[in-house]
Chains A and B, each alone.
Chain A
């Protein structure tokens, strides 16, 4: 019995994974096909990017502050008073490579991925997607491509923006609040922190952006069963995208080289 349940679960999982890959591939292929839905693209750039700024600013600022706090404590306790300025590069590397891409990914999945699933799902159950087709607009090109493309562009930009805010947060906690030597803190950071550390975060963000948009659109496109179905699709889009982000993050951290030099 348990074996049958697992087999059914595995079959569903593989089937859904296949659907996600198919939609993602179709969207990426369609990016260069005409007509390009410029108005939708610009609207999505605003939705994914500009409208996510407040939430990214807040999470990055507090992420940076708490990272600064814990790193300060660790150096203070285990290495000894006066060693706290060595935490600078650790804070910057940790934030840029791990914390900020994940935080931005999870925030955008919750804010934008869910909205994509809800909007497209509502369109699906009210036959608006069929109407698109009947009026000569390809649903993937009209709905999915602008969302995927804007996520691919905006999630890395948000991550870069989050990096700056968070690094400043860590710096502010150590230097302004805990009176760590500013010159040493900056010197240490610049000495060990590499551009590649930022790049790793941006590569991750690019992949997270793709995952968020494709999962959100896929859930919307396959929504069924009225308002309840749209609700389910919305929740599932956040859960699936968030889990995928955390799992992918580990493997990307493992695969991407720690340093180029």
Chain B
């Protein structure tokens, strides 16, 4: 029986009058890649930001490796962020820092490595995502796909236990998107990490997921292996995975 790495219990979150999460329950098992699917604006990114402590739930509990992180102070949360690496939707590279400074950023704060060791890890992390000779470039000099790769190199540099991917293939052409999928699979194999991916790209989902969870109406309405989701009797799931404009989902 594999250990539960992340657990969300009855997580609620509202922004003003808008209720985004209305009781999310989900267990994420160690070393698995779970893909959370859902419509744009359904609260997937909000859910992901709760896992790393960027957002706090209005109600409910989040457990990381058995520890309840809901009541932790900011300082404690910062320490806990060492366990997470996050790839942001737009890569979120620091504009004023070079690629190598971006990748070294987490290493300098999360580890005690010497400058020489940091440079070695930076180079190795960039090579792992297939980038060479870009160390001294600034983010604006990179293409969208390269930015995502640098973002990924930054997220994995300090060897986190859990990697969170926020729409890793959005905005990329199909070939680059598939290259990112391969990278996600490769990283899972090489680093034995637990991965949480949120996306609405079904091709990507089927390729990388061990399990799929669907977020709809602020709740997880279905969780299962890709085959189970494909054969789900739930009409909402069927409408979404088959990309039909007509069906029970009327808001889009």
Contacts and interface: CB of A to CB of B under 8 A. Distances in A.
Interface of A: 35, 122-123, 126-128, 130-131, 133-138
Nearest to B54: A130
B88 A136 contact: no
Contacts of B95: 122-123, 128
B94 A130 contact: no
19 contacts: A122-B95, A123-B95, A128-B94, A128-B95, A130-B54, A130-B88, A131-B92, A131-B93, A133-B53, A134-B52, A134-B84, A134-B86, A134-B106, A135-B81, A135-B110, A136-B109, A136-B110, A137-B105, A138-B74
A138 B76 CA distance: 11
Contact of A127 (B74, B78, B90): B90
Contacts of B49: 130
B61 interface: no
Contacts of A135: 81, 105-106, 109-110, 154
A35 B88 CA distance: 25
> Which of B85, B90, B92, B109: most chain A CB closer than 10 A?
B92
A131 B103 CA distance: 12
Nearest to B52: A134
B54 A133 contact: yes
Contacts of A131: 86, 88, 92-94
A128 B105 contact: no
Contacts of B54: 130, 133-134
The bracket for how many chain B residues form the interface is 20 to 34
Interface of B: 49, 52-54, 74, 78, 81-82, 84-86, 88-90, 92-95, 105-106, 109-110, 154-155
A178 B88 CA distance: 65
A130 B109 contact: no
Given A134-B52, A134-B54, A128 B92 contact: yes
A188 to B, nearest CB: 51
B90 to A, nearest CB: 6
A123 B95 CA distance: 8
A235 B210 CA distance: 48
Contact of B78 (A123, A126, A130, A133): A133
Given A128-B94, A131-B94, 6 more contacts: A127-B89, A130-B49, A130-B54, A134-B106, A135-B106, A135-B110
**What are the 6 closest A-B residue pairs judged by CB atoms, nearest first?**
A136-B109, A135-B106, A131-B92, A127-B92, A134-B86, A127-B88
A127 B155 CA distance: 14
Contacts of A126: 90, 92
Nearest to A26: B74
Contact of B106 (A123, A128, A136, A138): A136
A130 B89 CA distance: 11
A130 B88 CA distance: 9
B69 to A, nearest CB: 13
A230 B54 CA distance: 21
A133 B51 CA distance: 13
> Which of A126, A135, A136: most chain B CB closer than 10 A?
A135
Nearest to A142: B109
A33 to B, nearest CB: 9
A123 to B, nearest CB: 8
A144 to B, nearest CB: 14
A138 B78 contact: yes
A194 B151 CA distance: 58
Contacts of B90: 126-127
